[in-house]
Homo-oligomer: A and B are copies of this chain.
Amino acid sequence: MRVLIAQINPTIGDLPGNTGKILRSIEIAREQSAQLVLFPELALTGYPPEDFLLLPHFIHDVEQHLHTIVEASKDIAVIVGLPRQNPERTEKKLFNSAAIIHNQKILGFQDKILLPTYDVFDERRYFEPASSVRLWEIDGMNIGVTICEDIWQHSEMVKYTSYRRDPVQELSVLVPDFVVNLSASPYSLNKSGNRQEVCCKAAATLHCPLILCNQVGGNDSLIFDGYSFYAGKDGKIIDYAKGFEEDHLLVDLSKKSKPRSFQTDPIEDLYRALVLGLRDYFQKSGFTKACLGISGGIDSALVACIAVEALGVKNVLGITMPSRYSSPGSFTDAMQLIKTLGIDHKEISIEGPFKSYLELLEPQFSDKPWDATEENLQARIRGMILMAVSNKFGYIVLSTGNKSEIAMGYATLYGDMCGGLTVISDVTKGQVYALAKWINRNKEIIPTNTIVKPPSAELKPNQKDSDTLPDYDIIDNVLQSYVEDHCSPQEIVGRYGYSLELVEDLVRRIHRNEYKRRQSAPGLRISERAFSVGRRFPIVQRYVE
C-alpha cells in the first residue's frame, strides 16, 4: 500500500483555507498514486482551536467542510483530524476525532482515547475520551488509527499523567497490518527525538509499521516541528519528513526499506523553530513588517537575526534609541549589526522626553532619591517610541527579553516588554549565547563584542546585570530545576550546592514577577515549561514570599 503523509501547516479556524490545503494534498496523493493520504490531528481546524470548539456554529461549519473533503475523495482514502459532535449524552459534547474516508464515503470515526490535560493541553475541557478502538479496512489492509497522545502511554514517557488505558496494547491484540497516528505534537528542545522513541516502542509492540503525520507551523505560542515519519515493524525509523516546513512524504509499505537514522542539530532546530514561530505569527495574522529596538546587546541582536530570516531583510526596522547612559561601545555594536544585516534603521534619542518627564515629576518627587522609577522611565520612553512607529507605519514591535531576565522580572513593564511578540521569552540566557555562536558559525553576523561584553541595561552609569542578578548560569540552573523539574529549593541546593538563601531568593523573584509576565506579549514556547503558556500560577499567593 502507498500512503502519503501530508504534513500541512493549518491556520487556527481557517476552515476554507485548511480545507484548500487538504484538497491540494489529496491531488498530490493522486499524482503519486497513493491509495491513502494522512493528515495531522485536528487538521481541519488547526491545533489548538481552543474555545472556538465551544461555539455550536463553529462545529456546524466544520461539518460543512468535512462534506467538501468527502466529495473530493473519489477513488482514494483520506484520514483527517477534526472535532466531531458526540452523538451520545456524555460529559463533553465533542470528540477529538479522525474521519476515515474512502471513495466519497465516511467509513467512520476513530476518536481519541487519551486526552492530554496538563502543560499547554486542555483537551478534557472540550473532549470526551473514546471508549473503543477498532481496525479499518481499506484496499484489503487492516489499519489501526490513533491520535497523538494515544501512542504515548505505552512508553510511559508522559509527565504528570499515567493513563489507565494503553491504546497500543489494545490495538496490538487486533493484529493490524499497520497503524497510523495523527499528531499535533508541539516542538520543545529535543522533543522530536523523544517522539520518535515513543513511536518506535509502539511499532515494536504492535509488530507492524507505524506512520505518524505531525502538524507543522506556529500557532500563537506553540510551534509544531513536523518531522513526520514512518517506522518499520522492527521499531526502526525508515524515513522522515522535513522539520519546520510543510512536506509530503510517500510511504510504500510493500517495499523493503533500510532504516534511516534521525539526525538533527538541536541548536539549529531551536533557531528554525523560532524563525517559524515568528513567521507564522505574522503571516497568519496578515502582518509583514517588524520593528525592534537595537541596543547593541545580545538579545536584540539575536531577535533581529531571527526576524530577518523569518520576514526578509526589507521587512525589519531596527531603531536605536540612545540616552545619556548609552556607552559608545553599544552604539558601535548596534550600528555594526544593522549594517551587517542590512536592515532599515532609525535613530531616535530618548533625551528630549526623558528631560521633559524629569522636569514634570520633579515637583512631585522632590526629595526622593533616584531609583528604579527613573530607570523604568527610560525603558518606557523607548517602548512608547516603538509603539508610535508601530501605530504610524503598521509594524509589529518585537520584544526582546529572554527567559532568564523575564523569570527575574529584570524587564520594565510597558517599557522593553512592549510588543506584539516576545520572540525569545522562553530562551534562557545560556541558549541565547549558544544561538548567537551558531549564527556566527561561518562569519561574524552578531558583533563579537556584543557576545563577549558583560550584559548591561544601560539605564544608569556603569550599570551591569550582575549588579543585581547572580550569574546567568545560576539563574538558568534554578529555572531548569524549579520551573521545568518542579524541584523544591532544598532539592536544588542538593543538585548544585548553591546556598539555600540564594535559591530561595531566586524562587521568590520568579513568583513575585508573575504579575509582570501576566501582562507580557505572547512568547514562543521552546521548552517543556514556558512561562504564561502551560504554567499557571496565581499572582497573589503566600506559599513563596
Contacts and interface: CB of A to CB of B under 8 A. Distances in A.
Interface string A143-172: 000000000000000001111100000000
A110 B16 CA distance: 49
A388 B414 contact: no
Given A117-B124, A118-B125, A536-B122, A52 B384 contact: no
A31 interface: no
A264 interface: no
A240 to B, nearest CB: 27
A105 interface: no
A414 B387 contact: yes
Stoichiometry, as copies per complex, reads 2
A522 to B, nearest CB: 6
B384 A543 contact: no
B388 A539 contact: no
Interface stretch (A204-212, A372-380, A468-476): A372-380
Contact of A52 (B11, B348, B537, B540): B537
Contact of A391 (B355, B372, B543): B372
Interface string A55-66: 111100100000
A219 to B, nearest CB: 7
B164 A281 contact: no
Interface stretch (A33-41, A328-336, A358-366): A358-366
A15 interface: yes
Contacts of A49: 538
A498 interface: no
Given A51-B537, A536-B122, A380 B387 contact: yes
Contact of A541 (B52, B122, B387, B486): B52
Interface stretch (A88-96, A177-185, A444-452): A88-96
A220 interface: yes
Interface string A402-420: 0000000000011000101
B387 A55 contact: no
B356 A352 contact: yes
A108 interface: no
A373 B388 contact: yes
Contacts of A118: 125
A54 interface: yes
Contacts of A51: 535-537
A522 B544 contact: no
Contacts of A389: 364
Contacts of A361: 348, 385, 388, 392
A13 B371 contact: no
B122 A488 contact: no
A281 B539 CA distance: 9
B488 A55 contact: yes
A162 B11 contact: no
A540 B281 contact: yes
A371 B352 contact: no
Contacts of A327: none
A57 B488 contact: yes
Interface stretch (A75-83, A225-233, A512-520): A512-520
Given A13-B544, A164-B90, A536-B50, A364 B352 contact: no
Contacts of A48: 538
Given A12-B540, A15-B543, A348 B360 contact: yes
A263 interface: no
Contact of A538 (B219, B392, B520): B219
A420 B348 CA distance: 30
A277 to B, nearest CB: 11
A58 B89 CA distance: 38
Given A124-B124, A361-B385, A380-B384, A486 B56 contact: yes
A353 interface: yes
B385 A92 contact: no
A181 B488 CA distance: 34
Contact of A486 (B55, B89, B520): B55
Given A388-B373, A414-B384, A539 B220 contact: yes
A335 B77 CA distance: 73
A496 interface: no
A313 interface: no
A117 B389 CA distance: 42
A176 interface: no
A286 to B, nearest CB: 8
Contacts of A385: 360-361
B360 A17 contact: no
A348 B364 contact: yes
Which 5 pairs between the two chains have the least Cβ-Cβ distance? A13-B543, A57-B488, A14-B542, A373-B391, A124-B124
